[in-house]
Structure 1
Amino acid sequence: MNKTYCPSLTEYKRRVARVVNIGGVPMGGDYPIRVQSMTTVDTMDTLGSVEQTLRMVAAGCEYVRITAPSIKEAQNLLEIKKELRARGCNVPLIADIHFTPNAAELAARIVEKVRVNPGNYADKKKFEEIDYTDASYAAEVERIRERFRPLVKICKQYGTAMRIGTNHGSLSDRILSRYGDTPLGMVESALEFLRLCEEENYYDVVLSMKASNTQVMVQAYRLLVQKLDEEGLQPYPLHLGVTEAGEAEDGRIKSAVGIGTLLEDGLGDTVRVSLTEAPEAEAPVARMLIDRYLGRAATAQPIRPLVGPEPINPFQYLRRHTHEVLNFGALNVPRVIADISRLPQLEYGDLRAAGHLYSPFLDKFQMSDLGADYIYTGERPVPFMLPNGLKEIVNYTAWIDAGRRPDHFPLMTADRYMADPRRSGLPEHHPQLNFLMLGLAALDAPLLARLRDDRTVVLVLVTTNTHAMPELRRAFFELLNAGVNCPVAICRAYGPQPAAQTQLDAATDIGGLLIDGLGDGIVLGTELLPEASQEEWQAQLSGLNQLSFGILQAARTRMSKTEYISCPSCGRTLFDLQETTALIRQRTDHLKGIKIGIMGCIVNGPGEMADADYGYVGVGKGKIALYRGQDVIKKAVPEERAVDELIDLMREDGKWIEKEVVGEPVGV
């Protein structure tokens, strides 16, 4: 199978897409990667929509999307547009359409772009498995094409652009019956519509493959690019987004894992970050993701090109095969290593920087799902007993000086690792676990040969390259092609910069590798000014520890906390999403690994919460439907009782546990 999906795996080269002009703001080609978002005000509230649009533009939005679920909202887009133009705002408007072709056809005469979802647009979507014969499948495709053709003709006549936006959670029964709930199904759903556009010589099209599962989302975009090339279709621009990413830190991390992974490979022409927050909060996050690539090609260090075929399948998740070293690799979850070597002092309470909270009330450490598996202390081993399960890494010299303690594990350089102990007079390595820190340049033939036979080593892979993720990926390819199966912890350190930027950078650099099954651990480091206090170091390191777990969760490689698949709200939303999400989080955030979908309307649920264990979906003013997976269990539950009944549903399934109340830990 042809695995080509990006211009280069080792250089930063942006994919050259066809230019699509959207209201005088073109995307694709050499134009900048554009920022967009979507209003949350009811579309029938003309002034409210206008005021919010102006705030979004001020925050950096270059396109603004507005929902048009029916004819009346589509008609009111004209009033919104008139008022915006009267106020001197010429931002291109995009109508968001799901189930109503008539609304799309009207909106296409008014706004600069329409978005249609192939899974909802005149297709059947009842969440039932239906067996189609080739003849019945083809007949259904032709029926949909005839329903879609008028919109294409209108867009062509009026110069209106179109986004064909496939969502993982809203594939039709027909697509599901043939392709399953897969990236290939997502791609084929869009291509059916796209082929008709090309038959009509209509090319002002943008494509998207959005999902709340970052692995599925990345695979689908890659496969889309490969299929466009394979079929000889136009290189259409790509709209990047992780749908229902959530809120706050989790939403930003998840967005960066999905969007950043694709941006690293030069894919993407416009970005929408979907947060359960005010839409004007989304644009700055998108801008931070995009701006990282300004000048990337000029500042990146050359990476030696790959010789031979790519040793992984970029369209399917498969974790790299490794042997087990203590609790690293094989079937173990990726491990978190907290670098606390820079803390000015090390006492019991200081381990909170690694997620281990000491309670003086109980005189013991509390169990924590966000407690690091290892701490790195450098030249200063901790002077006290560690909590049960926590292990310590020290520099090789400190390991020697401390008498080669069996509960300490040494960190070595490549030179130290390759040194012959018989000639150097130094002792052998730890009999169970040794850490070896190196970069791509150190992976020469003699070292690779030794690593093939060493069952005690875990690599700590580092880079200082601006083009970090591709260089780290290139090192993994070297290991794969050399048949080296030792586990690898990915290490990234960032200079003094805002924590918000580090969140996005680390989620991109490491999350992009984890999505491809590369990585058995994570180490994040930082730099602070020399005069930084103990408290400042604590706060920074504690944030990095939480970030490590957040990246693993967003990449779907280690579930350590409750996951909220919450939509970013729009004019269709039937309740206060931010307030409701906060309430549900307050009651359920102790349920490790449970995924809860919180959807403002039936358009986004249950389809868009395809990965959720439970769903909370608005079905009317003050009315909520509760789901178990894709199945509705309770309908029209009064909103004031809905959270309690959601918890009752979990209790029935044996998945509810009560929150534990313990003494307050030190430093909190």
Structure 2
Amino acid sequence: MNKTYCPSLTEYKRRLSREVKIGDLPMGGLNPIRVQSMTTVDTMDTLGSVEQTLRMVEAGCEYVRITAPSVKEAQNLLEIRKELRRRGCTVPLIADIHFTPNAAELAARIVEKVRVNPGNYADKKKFDVIEYTDSSYAAEVDRIRERFRPLVQICKQYGTAMRIGTNHGSLSDRILSRYGDTPLGMVESALEFLRLCEEENYYDVVLSMKASNTQVMVQAYRLLVQKLDEEGLQPYPLHLGVTEAGEAEDGRIKSAVGIGTLLEDGLGDTVRVSLTEAPEAEAPVARMLINRYTHRAEEASPISVVSYQLPVVGQESDADSASRNGTDNQQLSTDNSPINPFQYHRRDTHEVLNFGGLNVPRVITDLSRLPRLEYADLRAAGHLYSSFLDKFQMSDLGADYIYTGERPVPFMLPNGLREIVTHTAWLDAGRRSEHYPLLTIDSYMADNPQLHPELNFLLMDLATLDAKLLAQLRTERRVVLVLETTNVHAMPEMRQAFFALIRAGVTSPVVVRRIYSMNNPAQTQLDAATDVGGLLIDGLGDGISLCTDLLPAHDQEALLRDIDGFNQLSFGILQAARTRMSKTEYISCPSCGRTLFDLQETTAKIRLRTDHLKGVKIGIMGCIVNGPGEMADADYGYVGVGKGKIALYRGQEVIKKAVPEERAVDELIELMREDGKWVDKEVLEEPVAG
């Protein structure tokens, strides 16, 4: 299998794409990565659209997308454009088209770019299961060609660019029948339309593969690049986005996991962060994601090649020989991936206590920098102490382990929480069974090291993975590795460590450990979600430990705030990467001119009633365009179908078609109750300390 999807898995190199001119602001090629967003005002509200566009541009938006669901909205794009130009704003405009070829053909004469969704544009989307023969499939493609060709010819004539934007949740019945609801289906949906463009010698095309599921989204973009190369097609620029990411921290973390993973490998020419917030809030987040790579190539340290040879049974191992002689027995290209980048598979590991195997990734909260530790301080690890009841209550974001370093906790821990200490502290305390030691490489590789009989942690990085250590780890069953790095190009370096373990046949579980500053919490949130989420997306990682760089000299409350923030962030990253569901997930679209209710207000209202439902996924969609399709991943859906009217879904099936908005949340809850998914919120007998 050809696994190549990016210029390098170790060096930061941007994929060199074809330059596409969009007004006066070209995309792709050697141009910077661009930022875009979408208006939420009704497109028929000319002045409202203009004012919002100006605010978006002020916030850093370089392209502005405006919905044009019908001919009348497409026509009004001209008035919006005129008023913007009159006010001195030359931002390129993009018409967002779904079902209406006539609207697209009109808009293409007015704006700088049109976006079409191949799953909706001139294709059938009736959620029908149809068996297509090769001839009937080809006949459908011919029918689409005849509907699509006029738009291509108009774009070519007017110098208008086009984005062919596939959405995971809105694949056509035809594509679903042949490829299923898969990344390959998404890619093929776009390639069909792209081939039609090339038949007309039209190349001003941008491609996107959006999904709410970050694993699917990343796999689809990678596969798209691989297929373009394989078919000898142009290296078209990529528009990156996680669709329906949601709001607040969850939306930002989810966006970073998906978008950041691709940016790390040099993919992407423009970014849109889709938040259920005012559109001017999106551009700054996109810019923070992009800015990490402005100087990445010159700031990153080279990532080394791990050399090893598997030992031969009954003989002195070549690994030992190589270690003594200082020679490399096996040189491995750092860009030779041992995993399938187009399909999720969690790395095979053996179980060590509750790490690895079939266990969910564990969260370790680092409390070692606290100068003192009391009952109430465990709230920062999600374990809440009630002095009135003299007992702990664990929240849904309760850490599995705490690391206390040289100072073990002086009191009994709550049930379900375990403690890690340094190897020295463990020995000094008499090798207590309830403490688990963290060893350095030197202490582990010493002759006859003293180890806990069940679980030990070994701190390591890529540079320490030499042949001798790899050979020893192949037979070790009591150790969990704690992987860290100081490289600016962090995710790729840690990924290479995982690759080395896989190639050497080491199945020890691995915890990913990263230290960050909380001086800029918003940036740190995105950085951590990218660095760790990018590994989890590929099935790499059995635990996460995010640590503050604050020293014990800082006041206790500042340290606790940082620790609490990192504990919550850890669970958020695991959820966004779809590797551990610990809270309710809201798949909510960013508002646009099609929205039939106040999305932000409605999302907040639904969250208030349902945020205790661990692992339940609720789709909140402003209109039927983004309804059943974009909620493909949701357990339940709340979709606007008319003014004051809501449709409620169970998965892809509509259950109630026109519920009055004032009753819709109650009826959504009743639907969950019928399915046995509803539980009442617990009422605490007394507020917990802190």
Contact 1:359 1:663 in 2 (8 A): no
Residue number in structure 1 paired with 2:221: 221
Provide the C-alpha distance between the structure 2 equivalents of 1:335 and 1:529, rounded to a whole number of angstroms: 25
SS at match of 2:500: helix
Residue number in structure 1 paired with 2:171: 171
Alignment of 1:429-578 (within 5 A): 429-528=451-550, 532-578=554-600
Contact 2:387 2:689 in 1 (8 A): no
Per-residue CA distance 1:150-175 (angstroms, 9 max, x = gap): 00000000000000000000000000
1:529 to 1:457, Cα distance in 2 relative to 1, 3 A: closer
Q: How many Å apart are 1:533 and its aligned residue?
A: 1.5
Per-residue CA distance 1:413-443 (angstroms, 9 max, x = gap): 111110113xxxxx62111000000100000
Per-residue CA distance 1:469-528 (angstroms, 9 max, x = gap): 000000000000000000000011113531111110000000000000000000001123
Q: How many Å apart are 1:667 and its aligned residue?
A: 3.9
Q: How many Å apart are 1:663 and its aligned residue?
A: 3.1
SS at match of 1:453: coil
Q: Select which of 414, 421, 446 maps to 1:387.
A: 414
Contact 2:304 2:463 in 1 (8 A): no
SS at match of 2:26: strand
Residue number in structure 2 paired with 1:138: 138
Q: Select which of 577, 590, 596 maps to 2:612.
A: 590
Residue number in structure 1 paired with 2:48: 48
Letter in 2 for 1:501: Q
Unaligned runs of 5+ in 1: 422-426
Contact 2:574 2:580 in 1 (8 A): yes
**TM-score calculated relative to the size of structure 1:** 0.98
Letter in 1 for 2:610: T
SS at match of 2:298: helix
Provide the C-alpha distance between the structure 1 equivalents of 2:483 and 2:206, rounded to a whole number of angstroms: 37
SS at match of 2:630: helix
Provide the C-alpha distance between the structure 1 equivalents of 2:519 and 2:349, rounded to a whole number of angstroms: 35
SS at match of 1:77: helix
SS at match of 2:515: strand
Provide the C-alpha distance between the structure 2 equivalents of 1:529 and 1:45, rounded to a whole number of angstroms: 54
Q: How many Å apart are 1:403 and its aligned residue?
A: 0.6
Q: How many Å apart are 1:62 and its aligned residue?
A: 0.2
Per-residue CA distance 1:372-404 (angstroms, 9 max, x = gap): 000000001000000101000000111011110
SS at match of 2:459: strand
Contact 2:386 2:689 in 1 (8 A): no
SS at match of 2:65: strand
The alignment of Structure 1 onto Structure 2 pairs a total of residues equal to 663
Q: Select which of 345, 348, 352 maps to 1:321.
A: 348
Residue number in structure 2 paired with 1:16: 16
Provide the C-alpha distance between the structure 2 equivalents of 1:529 and 1:367, rounded to a whole number of angstroms: 27
Contact 1:360 1:665 in 2 (8 A): no
1:471 to 1:532, Cα distance in 2 relative to 1, 3 A: same
SS at match of 2:338: coil
Q: Percent identity?
A: 84
Matched, 1:403 2:412: no
Letter in 2 for 1:178: R
Contact 2:370 2:552 in 1 (8 A): no
Unaligned runs of 5+ in 2: 307-331
Residue number in structure 2 paired with 1:342: 369
Residue number in structure 1 paired with 2:243: 243
1:529 to 1:326, Cα distance in 2 relative to 1, 3 A: closer
Provide the C-alpha distance between the structure 2 equivalents of 1:608 and 1:343, rounded to a whole number of angstroms: 45
Per-residue CA distance 1:573-622 (angstroms, 9 max, x = gap): 00000000000000000000000000000010110010000000000000
Q: How many Å apart are 1:530 and its aligned residue?
A: 6.4
Q: How many Å apart are 1:359 and its aligned residue?
A: 1.4
**TM-score calculated relative to the size of structure 2:** 0.95
Provide the C-alpha distance between the structure 2 equivalents of 1:667 and 1:85, rounded to a whole number of angstroms: 57
Q: How many Å apart are 1:54 and its aligned residue?
A: 0.2
Letter in 1 for 2:430: G
Alignment of 1:191-206 (within 5 A): 191-206=191-206
Letter in 2 for 1:604: N
Contact 1:10 1:305 in 2 (8 A): no
Residue number in structure 2 paired with 1:424: none
Residue number in structure 1 paired with 2:382: 355
Contact 1:361 1:663 in 2 (8 A): no
SS at match of 2:379: helix
Per-residue CA distance 1:288-334 (angstroms, 9 max, x = gap): 00000011000000002471541100000000000000000000000
Contact 2:369 2:551 in 1 (8 A): no
Task: Please report the RMSD computed on the Cα atoms of aligned residues, expressed in angstroms.
Answer: 0.9
Residue number in structure 2 paired with 1:159: 159
Residue number in structure 1 paired with 2:315: none
Q: How many Å apart are 1:367 and its aligned residue?
A: 2.6
Provide the C-alpha distance between the structure 2 equivalents of 1:497 and 1:13, rounded to a whole number of angstroms: 29
Provide the C-alpha distance between the structure 2 equivalents of 1:21 and 1:603, rounded to a whole number of angstroms: 29
Contact 1:496 1:529 in 2 (8 A): no
After TM superposition, where is structure 1 displaced by more than 4 Å over at least 4 residues in a row?
A: none
Matched, 1:69 2:30: no
Letter in 2 for 1:364: K
Contact 1:111 1:160 in 2 (8 A): yes
Provide the C-alpha distance between the structure 1 equivalents of 2:687 and 2:341, rounded to a whole number of angstroms: 44
Contact 1:338 1:354 in 2 (8 A): yes
Per-residue CA distance 1:116-173 (angstroms, 9 max, x = gap): 0000001000112111111100000110111000000000000000000000000000
Residue number in structure 1 paired with 2:314: none
SS at match of 2:603: helix
